């Protein structure tokens, strides 16, 4: 604990994350079970399996269809549009079920039968329907696997999971700062662990947050780091104004592979600039711009974003010895855990 890419949390081990599993037909398993894959299946259904002469979604490219627009056809919209969405949902569910079976066959996932689904996709009707269908397919295949959706908003999960990883000194304070860096957005928040109410962290909450859609602004890497520091400094000032006893600690959830030294090794292709460059260490770069908290420069620790999001569900998985998480977004994040007591 209390280091970059820690392999232990509070009462659990983090057995694996970011496994790059190859698909027999080429590419990675995650490529076929991501939100991007669902869009590709929907696009194929529109082109090949429409039930009317005109495309029910008009001329709007599939990549530009809003999630709400897709969801609405499932709850009383155009039946021809619903038809192509259901086709995509069925094909995606089969890919997701196959992906789950591949993961549970790995040594790092041996014994995992409870899997949490996080990321943005489960938060929408099409995603929830696909997950329910995948769960049914896994039941019919007698895998013994149970799928469950993250019990809170996935955006909060990338922050709340740090309750399981933060240094003990930070947890003795009322709150600490946390960051979730995504391919399109960066979210920062003040996290209150409230361990006096639930020692496993089941009552943790986000007191305040700020979010920046960096994909819209297209900054360079250093500009993005400075903007992130400004967001954190703003939250720190907010905590002082509200009288929140803030710890000098920041937990940062990052995409891809995080080394024990804090170097980002892979998975940052959607971030602005080169975050994997030799000599660039995000924790050091960020720490240089952060205002002191309680007279000290905040300590900054990094971990994989799927790991952190999965850990936010740990209070509801406390009865399971082994469990895992799959985060469905632009890619498919993954991690597995063992509860130690």
Domain range list for the chain: 29-149, 153-312
* 216 confidence band (pLDDT: 50, 70, 90): confident
Q: Taking residues 177-184, what's their average pLDDT?
A: 93
At 313-334, the pLDDT tens digits run: 999 999 999 999 999 988 899 9
Query: What is the Cα–Cα distance from 165 to 299, expressed in whole angstroms?
Result: 13
58: tokens are: 């008009």
Residue 7 DSSP symbol: S
**Would the pLDDT of 341 be above 80?**
no
**Would the pLDDT of 1 be above 70?**
no
pTM: 0.92
Query: What is the Cα–Cα distance from 23 to 31, expressed in whole angstroms?
Result: 9
C-alpha 123: how far from its chain's center? 12
* 161 confidence band (pLDDT: 50, 70, 90): very high
Mention every residue, 6+ apart, whose C-beta is less than 8 A from residue 261: 4, 281
- Dihedral, CA atoms, 26, 32, 33, 38, nearest 10 degrees? 170
Angle between helices 79-104 and 35-48 (to 10 degrees): 140
* 183 confidence band (pLDDT: 50, 70, 90): confident
Can you say whether residue 294 is alpha, beta or left, with left for phi > 0 and alpha for psi between -120 and 50 degrees?
A: left
Radius of gyration of the chain (CA): 21
CB neighbour class for 61 (10 Å; exposed up to 12, middle 13-18, buried from 19): exposed
CATH architecture of 153-312: 2-Layer Sandwich (3.30)
- Paired sense of beta strands 246-254 and 299-304, if any: parallel
């Amino acid at each position: 604990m209390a280091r970059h890419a820690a392999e232990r949390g509070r009462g659990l081990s983090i057995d694996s994350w970011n496994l790059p599993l190859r698909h027999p037909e080429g590419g990675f398993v995650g490529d076929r079970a991501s939100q991007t894959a669902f869009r590709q299946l929907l696009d194929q259904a529109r082109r090949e399996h429409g039930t009317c002469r005109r495309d029910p979604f008009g001329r709007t490219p599939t990549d530009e269809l809003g999630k709400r627009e897709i969801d609405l056809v499932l709850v009383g919209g155009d039946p021809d549009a619903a038809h192509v969405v259901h086709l995509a949902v069925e094909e995606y569910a089969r890919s997701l079920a196959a992906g789950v079976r591949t993961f549970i066959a790995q040594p790092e996932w041996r014994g995992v039968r409870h899997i949490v689904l996080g990321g943005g996709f489960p938060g929408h009707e099409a995603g929830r329907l696909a997950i329910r269908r995948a769960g049914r397919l896994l039941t019919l295949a007698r895998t013994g696997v149970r799928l469950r959706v993250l019990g809170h908003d996935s955006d909060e999960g990338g922050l709340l999971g740090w309750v399981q990883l933060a240094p003990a000194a930070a947890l003795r304070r009322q709150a600490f700062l946390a960051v979730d860096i995504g391919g399109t957005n960066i979210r920062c928040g003040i996290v209150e662990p409230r361990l006096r109410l639930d020692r496993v962290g089941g009552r943790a909450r986000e007191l305040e947050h700020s979010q920046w859609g960096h994909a819209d602004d297209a900054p360079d890497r250093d500009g993005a780091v400075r903007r992130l520091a400004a967001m954190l400094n703003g939250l720190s000032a907010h905590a002082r104004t509200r009288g929140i006893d803030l710890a000098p600690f920041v937990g940062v959830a990052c995409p891809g592979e995080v080394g024990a030294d804090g170097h980002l090794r892979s998975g940052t292709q959607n971030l602005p600039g080169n975050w994997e460059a030799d000599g660039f260490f995000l924790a050091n770069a960020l720490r240089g711009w952060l205002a002191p908290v309680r007279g000290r420069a905040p300590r900054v620790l990094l971990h994989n974003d799927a790991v952190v999001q999965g850990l936010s569900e740990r209070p509801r998985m406390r009865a399971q010895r082994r469990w895992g998480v799959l985060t469905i977004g632009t890619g498919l994040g993954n991690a597995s855990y063992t509860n130690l007591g």
